[in-house]
Structure 1
Amino acid sequence: MPQRHRGSATSRSVWGGSLSFTSCTRCKRLIPLGTGTRCPGCKPKRVHTLSASRRGYTSEYRRNRAVVLADAPACTLCRRRPATTADHIVPLSKGGTNQLSNLRPACGPCNYGRGNRGYHR
Structure 2
Amino acid sequence: MTPNQRGSPIYSSCTKCKTLIPLGESRCTRHRPKRTHVLSSTQRGYDAEYLRNRATILEGSPLCVLCNRRIATTADHIIPLSRGGTNQIHNLRPACPRCNSGRGNRL
Match of 1:39 among 2, 17, 25: 25
1: CA distance, partners of 2:102 / 2:37: 20
Deviations 1:10-52 (A, max 9, x none): x54xxxxxxxx69xxxxxxx65xxxxxx5355xx985543211
The unaligned stretches of length 5 or more in structure 2 are 11-21, 28-32
Whether the 8 Å CA contact 1:72–1:105 is kept in 2: the answer is no
User: Please, what TM-score do these two structures have when normalized by structure 2?
Assistant: 0.68
Task: Tell me which residue corresponds to 1:62.
Answer: 51
Match of 2:81 among 73, 92, 99: 92
2: CA distance, partners of 1:70 / 1:47: 36
2: CA distance, partners of 1:47 / 1:69: 33
2: CA distance, partners of 1:74 / 1:46: 38
Aligned residues: 92
Change (3 A) 1:45 1:78: farther
The structure showing larger relative contact order (alpha-carbon pairs under 8 Å, at least 6 residues apart) is 2
Q: Tell me the C-alpha RMSD between the 2 structures.
A: 2.9
Q: How does 1:11-50 map to 2 (within 5 A)?
A: 12=8, 31=23, 39=25, 41=27, 46=35, 48-50=37-39
1: CA distance, partners of 2:46 / 2:54: 10
The unaligned stretches of length 5 or more in structure 1 are 2-10, 13-20, 23-29, 32-37
Q: How does 1:101-120 map to 2 (within 5 A)?
A: 101-118=90-107
Change (3 A) 1:65 1:56: same
Task: Pick the structure with more strand per residue.
Answer: 1
2: CA distance, partners of 1:48 / 1:81: 34
Amino acid at match of 2:79: V
Change (3 A) 1:112 1:45: farther
